[in-house]
Amino acid sequence: MARKTPISCDWRTGAVLKGKKPPKENKSALYKHKGKFRWQGIKVEKYKQSSGGWADTARQTLIGNQGETAKFHVRYFEIAPSGCSSFERHKHEHVVICVRGKGKATVGRKSHAIDFLDTLYISPGTPHQLRNPFKSPFGFFCIVNAKRDKPKLLTA
């Protein structure tokens, strides 16, 4: 199922923020897994639209860009070897579930190794960053609030 209007999950670029309304239809949908961590009808996007201390990270928004009224978004991120997310904090929370490879997470002052099906909860206001120091891709589902605040980028 192809989307008619691309909508970014990035807080800066969503269609609602550009004065456009998201699709009004809220229909049940199945996004078939096509293999290699790609889903039918779901576009692979840049992690964020501008630079900010991140590298080699891609995002797919599975739930949250197709007109759903859910109070959460489900996204799949993949960090290539030697890549990382931005080091940031914000008022919303995250649930991260590793489904491919392994990675490392800095959450507050703690460092965690993350492996297949490990689940990480990141509380509101906690500085965090996900990294991939390994030789294989690190992929994870990230569940966040549909309404989110602007992240504050931090320095390591």
| Residue 135 belongs to a domain | yes
Q: Tell me what pLDDT residue 75 has.
A: 97
In single-letter form, the type of residue at position 77 comes to F
Closest listed residue to residue 81, CA positions, set 106, 100, 95: 100
Q: Tell me what pLDDT residue 8 has.
A: 40
Domain interval for residue 55? 15-23+31-153
What percentage of the chain reaches a pLDDT higher than 70?
Answer: 81
Distances (CA, A) of 103 to 48, 83, 97: 19, 10, 11
Number of CB atoms found within 10 A of residue 85's CB: 25
CATH number at residue 117: 2.60.120.10
| Residue 8 belongs to a domain | no
In the predicted model, what is the mean pLDDT of the chain?
A: 86
Q: 91 near 135, Cβ under 8 Å?
A: no
Q: Please count the structural domains in the chain.
A: 1
Strand boundaries in 11-108, DSSP class E: 33-35, 38-39, 45-46, 55-63, 72-84, 88-89, 94-100, 103-107
- Residue that wins the pLDDT comparison between 102 and 13: 102
**Quick check: 148 pLDDT over 70?**
yes
Q: Tell me what pLDDT residue 25 has.
A: 73
SS3 content of the chain, % helix, strand, coil (to 5): 5, 40, 55
pLDDT digits (tens, 9 = 90+) for 43-72: 999 887 666 678 899 999 999 988 899 999
**Quick check: 107 pLDDT over 80?**
yes
Q: Tell me what pLDDT residue 5 has.
A: 42
| Residue 118 belongs to a domain | yes
Q: Which residues pair with 65 in a beta bridge?
A: none
Taking phi first (over 0 means left), then psi (-120 to 50 degrees means alpha), and beta for anything else, what does residue 13 get? alpha
What percentage of the chain reaches a pLDDT higher than 90?
Answer: 71
98 given a catalytic annotation: no
Q: Tell me what pLDDT residue 54 has.
A: 86
**Which position among 9, 84, 98, 142 bears the catalytic label?**
142
